[in-house]
A = this chain, B = another copy of it.
Amino acid sequence: MDAKQAARTSAQSGRKDARRNHARLLATARELFLEQGADASLDALARRAGVGIGTLYRHFPTRQNLLEALLTESYDNLSSRARELTGSASPEVALTTWLQAFITEVTEVRGMAASVMATLRDERSEVFTSCTSMRAAGEVLFREAQRAGLIPPEVEFLDVLRLVGAIAMAAEQEPDVADRLLALALRGLMPGAETPVPAAGAEARGPGAG
């Protein structure tokens, strides 16, 4: 049994105290990380949760596991939010509102945004299911805006999430720039430019160009 399976199974079954400890650790982690950031002491976390340090490691073998478990909740929130915004009269407002919520959500815990980038990449991650749902729900808003002619057809939604994730990483350091950077990313630095970005060193691996 590897680390991921250990964390997953301990959540849903096993002994009664094991499940309680799992929930307790997760709730305490959210609380502590909100206060001190994602690099808070794991010893302090176990102490505050009232369990031995070994129990923490049994449930969440790595700090990354813990962060991904928290991200699961964030992604689920964002899925709901996206569904609420679906079918809005203004696809533009709907999508931008959701992207703002995305940044707000993953920025709440300092140091979490880096894990967003990781979970967007790693398909074997613990958060795979909720990340996929979130992406699907968000993509509906994206398609609505695209169908309204607001977004160029060649833009990929995953890249949008990555760019917003990047802004979130920066916003963790300087919260007050989040909105300005998102606005800039939406409008674009050179909105009217026709030529693509010059190829970086090697051949241009543009979208659709094979």
User: A-side interface residues toward B, CB under 8 Å?
Assistant: 77, 81, 92-93, 96-97, 100-101, 104-105, 108, 114, 117-118, 121, 145, 149-152, 155-156, 159-160, 162-163, 165-167, 169-170, 173-174, 177-193, 195-200, 203-208
Report if A170-B100 is in contact (Cβ < 8 Å); known contacts: A186-B188, A207-B180. Answer: no
Report which of B117, B162, B203 forms a contact with A101, defined as CB distance below 8 A.
B203
With contact pairs A121-B173, A179-B197 given, residues A187 and B184 touching in the complex (Cβ less than 8 Å): no
Q: Indicate if the CB atoms of B155 and A162 lie closer than 8 Å.
A: no
CB distance from A178 to the nearest CB of B (A): 7
Number of copies of this chain in the oligomer? Answer: 2
> In the bound complex, what is the Cα–Cα distance between A207 and B160 (angstroms)?
22
8 Å CB contact of A155 from B118, B149, B159, B189: B189
Q: A198-B93, A207-B104 are in contact. Are A191 and B189 (CB under 8 A)?
A: no
CA distance A89 to B121 in the complex (A): 39
Q: Do A190 and B192 touch across chains, with their CB atoms under 8 A apart?
A: no
A192 touching B160, Cβ below 8 Å: no
